[in-house]
């Protein structure tokens, strides 16, 4: 990568930090309570290192294969790593011990596999439950109506610890409130926190991407996941 590209990433991370701080202040929150995850898909190890040097809190990867390749290249050294993409049960074993948080746990079945693999490794794996807050056919995630019963069952697994909720909401229609789905997530988060399940610490609400992270913060997001806002457009 060129020096110019490095400078751009540095600038964009600084800009994102500023906007996060403004949105937090406007909501009466502290900027340090919001974790900035760089969504690093399609960006090579050098660009990932540039984002880490620029001060992102966490790297987030979508694909297991891509994560393993960059992990081998020591792309994430010195930075916590989250998994944020679609996860097949047969790939769980590759993540255990490498990621501090699996954000995209979209079913009880997947949670059970993570529990089993974490037990083998002798660890307890932190996870977030991904909610299909827009009830979209095309998306994975736990149906909001089933969230409480699923959470109760996951709470019984001894080798996972639920740390909160994650969502990739649809874009609201022009006639809908811009924060419609973020508000719904926030309400679910508060309601589940109030239940005080054993083994569950609800301290993470992961929502908001490049296009809408300031709105997400105003609705209580504690983790925002930024790709294009840091790295520019992805070239598929
Ligand atoms: C790619 C991705 C992001 C970041 O998307 P941008 O719109 O580029 O900020 C966030 N979360 C997940 C799960 C992603 O796959």
Q: Are 182 and 216 in contact (CB under 8 A)?
A: yes
Report pTM: 0.97
Q: Round to whole Å and give the CA distance between 98 and 46.
A: 19
d(CA 95, CA 75): 15
Provide the pLDDT confidence category of residue 196 given band limits of 50, 70 and 90.
confident
Structural domains of the chain sorted by starting position, each given as residue range(s) with its CATH number in brackets? 3-230 (3.20.20.10)
pLDDT of residue 6 exceeding 90, the answer is yes
Q: What is the enclosing helix (H) or strand (E) of 166?
A: strand 160-166
The two tokens of residue 29 are: 């929150």
Q: Band of the pLDDT at 24, cuts 50, 70, 90?
A: very high
Could you tell me the distance, in angstroms and rounded to a whole number, from the CA of residue 26 to the centre of ligand 1? 24
Using one digit for the tens of pLDDT, what is the confidence trace for 57-67?
999 999 999 99
Task: Give the residue, by CA position, lying nearest to ligand 1 atom 7.
Answer: 210
Measured from the CB, is residue 89 less than 6 Å from ligand 1?
no
Rg, Å, the chain Cα set: 17
CA distances to 78, 152, 161 from 156, rounded to whole Å, are 33, 7, 10
Task: At 184, list the tokens.
Answer: 């719904």
pLDDT tens by residue, 65-119: 999 999 999 999 999 999 999 999 999 999 999 999 999 999 999 999 999 999 9
Is the distance from the beta carbon of residue 226 to the nearest atom of ligand 1 less than 6 Å?
yes
């Amino acid at each position: 990568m060129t020096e110019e590209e490095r400078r751009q990433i540095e600038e964009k991370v600084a800009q994102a930090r500023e906007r996060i701080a403004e949105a937090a202040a406007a909501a009466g929150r502290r900027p340090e309570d919001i974790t900035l995850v760089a969504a690093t898909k399609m960006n090579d190890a050098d660009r990932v290192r540039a984002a880490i040097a620029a001060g992102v809190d966490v790297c987030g990867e979508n694909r297991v294969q891509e994560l393993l390749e960059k992990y081998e290249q020591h792309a994430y050294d010195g930075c916590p790593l989250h998994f944020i993409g679609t996860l097949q049960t047969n790939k769980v074993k590759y993540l255990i011990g490498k990621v501090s948080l699996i954000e995209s746990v979209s079913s009880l079945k997947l949670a059970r596999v993570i529990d089993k693999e974490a037990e083998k490794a002798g660890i307890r794996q932190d996870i977030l439950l991904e909610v299909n807050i827009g009830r979209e056919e095309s998306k994975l995630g736990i149906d909001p109506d089933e969230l409480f019963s699923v959470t109760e069952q996951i709470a019984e697994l001894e080798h996972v610890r639920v740390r909160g909720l994650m969502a990739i909401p649809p874009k609201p229609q022009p006639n809908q409130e811009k924060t419609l789905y973020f508000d719904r997530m926030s309400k679910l988060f508060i309601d589940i926190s109030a239940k005080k399940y054993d083994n569950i610490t609800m301290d993470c609400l992961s929502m908001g991407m490049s296009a809408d992270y300031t709105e997400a913060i105003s609705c209580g997001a504690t983790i925002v996941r930024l790709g294009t806002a840091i790295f520019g457009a992805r070239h598929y």
